[in-house]
Chain A
Amino acid sequence: MIDELFTISTLIGILHSCVRLATPYLFASLGETFGQRSGVLNLGVDGIMLMGAFFAFYAVFEGHNLWVGVLVAIAVGILMGLLKAFVSVTMQSLQGISGIGLYLFGLGLSSLLFKTLIGSVEGVSGFRQLAIPLLSDIPGLGHILFNHNALVYLAYIMVPVSWFVINRTTLGLKIRAVGHNPEAADTLGVSVNGVRYTTLMIGGALAAVAGASLSIGLQNVFQENMTNGLGFIAVALVYFGSWRTVGVLGGSLLFSLVNALQLWVQALDIPVPSEVAVMMPYIMTIVVLAFTARQIQKPAALARSYERGE
């Protein structure tokens, strides 16, 4: 049975799943990259994802267009980002603790709204496969890379877009400066709090889209706590990727590959206890963080609130 895992068609299937399943990781960890580069650690990503997932699903469930669902999720994500910014930037609470608070808030509220407004597990028809003409006809590779839904493509487009914003715009320069030396940025008239509010709103919007990509893109249902801690892995991926967008891309693909393998191992009925298979990405998170987190690129002011003083 284990041989089945190594047939060409299975391998293509696994790689296709890998590209597809990287979508929520990419959105969420790119968003988190913005926040962390500006010095704010947001552990509430998972909570924002759940809120985004719910609202996108609910909009579609109520008969709205899929893109309206995405926009609703973005709006909710921005609000969640603002909440995080108010608590950790304006009120200067400890970033780690307030992030966990935000996560629990998102988890609780999305469950409550789900029970009140929908009640039972329902399905919707989410984003459809959108094969790119010609490119998707390439044998093997075409199916792996160019036969996905719109949100999957969008996630990959966000990689160079994020890189460009961080490295080639005045906003990006401010983000990098504020994350490394907020005092220096402040003396040059850069609003440290303004930059951090901006990055947290961007991060919130992307985390919410990550959630939407689950509920109306990949799984097309909403369930309580459907992210299963995926948002925390997204935070870990930012460390894994050394705060660089390319690193985050690599990390996301690695994790989704493990995820895809896990799914296929189960689907092919290979005799590995399903619990072990499900544990694989999480074990991987710990191992990877323990051995590869390079601190060299770390924003020096990460998780430190800024107050103008001496």
Chain B
Amino acid sequence: MGTGQRRFEDRIVYGIASPTGGHRAVNFRLNAPYVQMYGIVKRFPGVLACDHVDFDVRRGELHALLGENGAGKSTLMRILYGLYQPEEGRILRDGAEVTIHSPTDAIRQGIGMIHQHFMLVDTLTVTENVALGLKSSREPLLDLGRVEAGIRELSEAYGLQIDPRAPVWTLSVGERQRVEIMKALYRGAAMLILDEPTAVLTPQEVDELFVTLGYMKENGYSLVLISHKLQEVLAISDRITVLREGRLVGTVPTEEMTRHELARMMVGRDVMLERTRDDEIDVGDVKLRLKDVRAHDVTGQPALRGVSLSVQSSEILGVAGISGNGQRELAEVIAGLRPLSGGSVEMDGMPITDWTTARRTESGLAYIPEERMHDGIVRDFAVSENLVLQEHTSEKFSNGIFLAFDYIARYSRQMIQDFYIKTPDIRTMTRNLSGGNIQRLILARELSRQPKVLVAAQPTRGIDIGAIEYIYQQLLEQRDKGMATLLISEDLDELLALCDRIAVIFEGQIMDILDRDETTAEGLGLLMAGVHPEKQ
């Protein structure tokens, strides 16, 4: 095992410079399959996650794996990367059958994986993260100099700009992703699995990533892109495999597909994600107003540095921005979960800056928090308990100090029906629901109160396209009924589809607020990166 890893390292470090080209990825027959998976079956308690799935990746190909959440795409790739063991099925590499019991085995087969949540140690430097787990050339001592030299060479060869000496916590999300790719390349990967790699990037960073991927493809790397974004899959992949509920729907060449056909393959029916909004609705009075709001983040650093904005009734105001520019604090300040260090918040003309969260909710504020599993629900509560969590002391749900169980049960069944929450029972533990169904539950709780103001933070992140469609529909319906919505999102397509106006937040300040009609994804992208075109 040790010598195997050592060989990879040697080849990478010397391979690029050597005229014979020691790189594994350089010696390839284009279009020959690199990895083939046949009849893969994987069961989890109560779920058939993969049901006899076939999949293959060729050399020099970018193969997209498309499907809703829970369709089995991540499970399939985790099996290939050795994180799960399949119950049935065969895996071939270069035509020969292999067994992969662990990530170490996968790495030895030249397979690398870039996880959605980066697997990096923040406190270590880029070089240390790359060296972690590898045999050093002078065991037991570290040889970081040599690793650093290897990183610099790979950096140049594939256009991956990273400072090897920088501690990871100082890096941007895009840079961290490059470190992940570097880890795989340095270990001699010939194939990369990328799990939703664009979810966390700005449009500009996405472009850079795609350039790198294109370059790797030309050099014979096999790439698998796990995604549920139709647009990007159509833009850069060569072939697309669609999974639905653990089964293979089909593998198709990208050039033969349209967005509409793909969505149908994915969901199994026609999907309407395009705007169905009624633009005739007039906006009314200001329902939510923030004046020069300032607040600190958990570490005590200023996170909001003078935010002013207002949302009118029957209006959806979007807040665009790269994660970590004050969005979380903005939502918490309005919800009453974070103290202000300056400025004021008004709801319906009344100053609510000093109100408790409970008083704000009673007066018509609804809140869909960013961390739905953490802040949105109590995971070990029953579905019905989470549904009445907010109002359990109101007359509706209680008789004196006792809960009105009969009414709560009736009410919960009604909610499950009205909001299409898929759950075996109202007593089911909420943690067992899928992300999309948990979000429907939160939506049911918040919207059934007929709120005046809704703050929705990343309401569709990580949930399936069917649930997203439903949430869009609900948001637009409530807007037509007069609700004022502040929609915080990192998904520009979502903001452009739903919002009347879009504010861009950067380092705790509002860069600009634009009307939807005068906005493009590119323009927003620049503002999100802190570049104001008119102020240059």
Contact A173 B142 (CB under 8 A): yes
Which B residues touch A171, using CB under 8 A? 140
B183 within 8 A of A: yes
Contact A173 B103 (CB under 8 A): no
B497 within 8 A of A: no
Contact A188 B103 (CB under 8 A): yes
Contact B142 A187 (CB under 8 A): no
Complex Cα distance, B183 from A190, in Å, reads 14
Min CB distance B134 to A, Å, is 8
Which A residues touch B141, using CB under 8 A? 168-170
A224 within 8 A of B: no
Most B Cβ at <10 Å: residue of A169, A171, A173, A184: A184
Interface residues of A in 169-226 (CB under 8 A from B): 169-174, 176-177, 180-181, 183-190
Min CB distance B75 to A, Å, is 10
Least CB separation from A182: chain B residue:
B121
Complex Cα distance, B115 from A176, in Å, reads 21
Contact B102 A189 (CB under 8 A): yes
Interface residues of B in 136-153 (CB under 8 A from A): 136, 139-142
A170-B140, A170-B141 are contacts. A185–B123 as well, Cβ < 8 Å? no
Contact A168 B142 (CB under 8 A): yes
A180-B123, A181-B121, A181-B122 are contacts. A190–B133 as well, Cβ < 8 Å? yes
Complex Cα distance, B179 from A184, in Å, reads 13
Which A residues touch B119, using CB under 8 A? 181, 183-184, 187-188
A168-B142, A187-B103, A188-B103 are contacts. A173–B123 as well, Cβ < 8 Å? no
Contact A173 B115 (CB under 8 A): no
Cross-interface CB contact of A177 among B102, B104, B121, B135, cutoff 8 Å:
B121
Chain A binder among B50-58, B124-132, B196-204, B428-436: B124-132
Complex Cα distance, B133 from A177, in Å, reads 10
Cross-interface CB contact of B132 among A169, A188, A308, cutoff 8 Å:
A188
Which A residues touch B123, using CB under 8 A? 176, 180, 300
Contact A180 B121 (CB under 8 A): yes
Min CB distance B225 to A, Å, is 19
Contact A189 B140 (CB under 8 A): no
Cross-interface CB contact of A170 among B107, B120, B121, B139, cutoff 8 Å:
B139
Which B residues touch A170, using CB under 8 A? 131, 135-136, 139-142
Min CB distance A30 to B, Å, is 19
Least CB separation from A298: chain B residue:
B123
A169-B140, A170-B139, A171-B140 are contacts. A187–B128 as well, Cβ < 8 Å? no
Cross-interface CB contact of A173 among B83, B107, B113, B128, cutoff 8 Å:
B128
Min CB distance B72 to A, Å, is 14
Least CB separation from B102: chain A residue:
A189
Cross-interface CB contact of B131 among A173, A180, A183, A187, cutoff 8 Å:
A173
Contact A189 B104 (CB under 8 A): yes
Min CB distance B322 to A, Å, is 22
Contact A188 B139 (CB under 8 A): no
Complex Cα distance, B118 from A235, in Å, reads 32
- How many cross-chain pairs have Cβ atoms below 8 Å apart between A and B? 69
Min CB distance A278 to B, Å, is 38
Interface residues of A in 289-310 (CB under 8 A from B): 300, 308
Contact A189 B121 (CB under 8 A): no
Which B residues touch A186, using CB under 8 A? 103
Which A residues touch B133, using CB under 8 A? 174, 185, 188-190
A184-B119, A190-B132 are contacts. A177–B140 as well, Cβ < 8 Å? no
Residue interface mask B346-366, A partner, CB < 8 A = 1: 000000000000000000000
Complex Cα distance, B255 from A67, in Å, reads 77
Which B residues touch A176, using CB under 8 A? 121, 123-124, 128
Min CB distance A241 to B, Å, is 16
Cross-interface CB contact of A187 among B115, B122, B135, cutoff 8 Å:
B115
Cross-interface CB contact of A185 among B122, B132, B134, cutoff 8 Å:
B132
A188-B133, A189-B102 are contacts. A181–B140 as well, Cβ < 8 Å? no
Complex Cα distance, B130 from A184, in Å, reads 11
Complex Cα distance, B136 from A177, in Å, reads 16
A185-B132, A190-B132 are contacts. A169–B121 as well, Cβ < 8 Å? no
Which B residues touch A184, using CB under 8 A? 118-121, 129, 132
Complex Cα distance, B169 from A300, in Å, reads 13
Contact B122 A169 (CB under 8 A): no
Contact A185 B115 (CB under 8 A): no
Which B residues touch A173, using CB under 8 A? 124, 128, 131-132, 142
Complex Cα distance, B83 from A134, in Å, reads 61
Interface residues of B in 181-198 (CB under 8 A from A): 183
Min CB distance A39 to B, Å, is 12
Complex Cα distance, B124 from A185, in Å, reads 12
Which A residues touch B183, using CB under 8 A? 188
Min CB distance A266 to B, Å, is 44
Residue interface mask A34-57, B partner, CB < 8 A = 1: 000000000000000000000000
Least CB separation from B143: chain A residue:
A170
Complex Cα distance, B131 from A171, in Å, reads 12
Which A residues touch B135, using CB under 8 A? 170
Most A Cβ at <10 Å: residue of B83, B119, B123, B128: B123
Interface residues of A in 141-176 (CB under 8 A from B): 168-174, 176
Contact A180 B122 (CB under 8 A): yes
Which B residues touch A189, using CB under 8 A? 102-104, 107, 133
Residue interface mask B386-416, A partner, CB < 8 A = 1: 0000000000000000000000000000000
Complex Cα distance, B131 from A168, in Å, reads 12
Complex Cα distance, B164 from A294, in Å, reads 27
Which A residues touch B107, using CB under 8 A? 189
Which B residues touch A172, using CB under 8 A? 142
Complex Cα distance, B129 from A168, in Å, reads 14
Complex Cα distance, B464 from A290, in Å, reads 47
Complex Cα distance, B142 from A116, in Å, reads 49
Interface residues of B in 90-108 (CB under 8 A from A): 102-104, 107
Complex Cα distance, B120 from A176, in Å, reads 12
A181-B119, A181-B120, A181-B122 are contacts. A174–B140 as well, Cβ < 8 Å? no
Residue interface mask B318-345, A partner, CB < 8 A = 1: 0000000000000000000000000000
Complex Cα distance, B104 from A187, in Å, reads 8
Min CB distance B192 to A, Å, is 14
Least CB separation from A169: chain B residue:
B140
Complex Cα distance, B122 from A184, in Å, reads 10
Most B Cβ at <10 Å: residue of A176, A177, A300: A177
Which B residues touch A300, using CB under 8 A? 122-123
Which A residues touch B132, using CB under 8 A? 173-174, 177, 184-185, 188, 190
Min CB distance A293 to B, Å, is 16
Complex Cα distance, B129 from A180, in Å, reads 12
Complex Cα distance, B118 from A171, in Å, reads 22
Complex Cα distance, B135 from A176, in Å, reads 16
Complex Cα distance, B113 from A186, in Å, reads 13
Complex Cα distance, B136 from A172, in Å, reads 12
Min CB distance A242 to B, Å, is 12
Complex Cα distance, B102 from A186, in Å, reads 10
With A168-B141, A300-B122 given, name 13 new contacts (CB 8 A): A170-B142, A172-B142, A174-B132, A176-B123, A180-B121, A180-B122, A181-B119, A184-B119, A184-B120, A185-B133, A188-B183, A189-B103, A300-B123
A-B contact pairs, 10 of them (CB 8 A): A170-B139, A173-B124, A176-B123, A177-B121, A184-B132, A187-B113, A188-B133, A189-B103, A189-B133, A300-B122
A interface residues, Cβ below 8 angstroms from B: 168-174, 176-177, 180-181, 183-190, 300, 308
- Across the A-B interface, the 3 shortest Cβ-Cβ residue pairs: A188-B133, A189-B104, A184-B119
